[in-house]
Structure 1
Amino acid sequence: MEKGRLRKLGLKNLKWLHKHPALKERKEQVIMQELLNDASWQQAQTIAMTKSLEFEFNTQSLLQQAFAENKRVLMPTADQDRRLTFHLITPETVFERSFFGVEEPVAAPIVSAEEIDLLIVPGIVFTHEGYRIGFGGGYYDRFLQSYQGHTCSLVFSEQIQEGWTVESFDLPVKQLFIS
């Protein structure tokens, strides 16, 4: 199946799960607990993640947990060249919605990729090997080409689709937390 069709199927599955909030919340709790118990989270001082869209894994609780543990939290902005830059945020950081509908930090300091201990990579569809299909802009694929730190994704079982062709520019995340 081609990536465009898989992306549509993945979005359909995510939106179905969003319509079942009790199930989605249970799955999020399992995934979050697995992540919080993992050495990659426990050892990380600087964590990069996105503010989720309503149908994605809700990162708000994870964000609050990171602040409670005094971890540095970074969130990305995207430029016209489809490149990501990560910014240090605080509970007071102001966000604005980008042209894709994603909330991005405004006027927050830039932090270099080398300082990121754990990068939580979003996606729509995943294989068990960590290959992913995102929204189609290639932003994370470009960033992952030079990023050397630990990567993970927070994945609902409804997002797993095997048997699609991985392309040369596709880079897997190192760890999946799945429920």
Structure 2
Amino acid sequence: MINGQIRDKEVRVIGSDGEQLGVMSSRDAQKLADEAELDLVKISPKANPPVVKIIDYGKYKYELARKDKENKKKQKTVELKEIRLSPNIEANDLNTKMNNARKFLGKGNKVKVTLRFRGREMAHAYKSKVVLDDFAAKLEDIATIEKPAKMEGRSMSMTLTEKK
């Protein structure tokens, strides 16, 4: 809320240079802001009495937008990368998939390792859990298991995250 939108009887006023001017009526605070050719902005509406500040509102909005932009730059989004395996995967193929998982984990992403079963492979799904356990064991120096291996339809999957 700015200027005429402030309807409170009494407000605590902070001057343009940061000094406290005390508690006064909102009309008097508006007069002070008009004399300084600045805006009266409600900073803390939940305080008792509400806190208002005499500042240039356009500059204030610009500073808030800049802070938000800086915070978004520093923010890191974590993606979920998926690696698909089959129950009868060869050692070299498994190593290649493991190297890809290392890259993903190194970049700070989570890795979902999925073991897909086709046709008659479903009959021996419980034996294939060893492939996922082996995958996790070889990556345990840089990864921890977030979600353990679990059957989901025709596939078994687990999620790995980077160690802190």
* Same fold, judged at TM 0.5 (above): no
Q: Which structure: greater strand fraction?
A: 2
Q: Which structure: greater helix fraction?
A: 2
- Which structure is higher in RCO with an 8 Å CA cutoff and minimum separation 6? 1
TM-score under structure 2 length normalisation: 0.25
TM-score under structure 1 length normalisation: 0.24
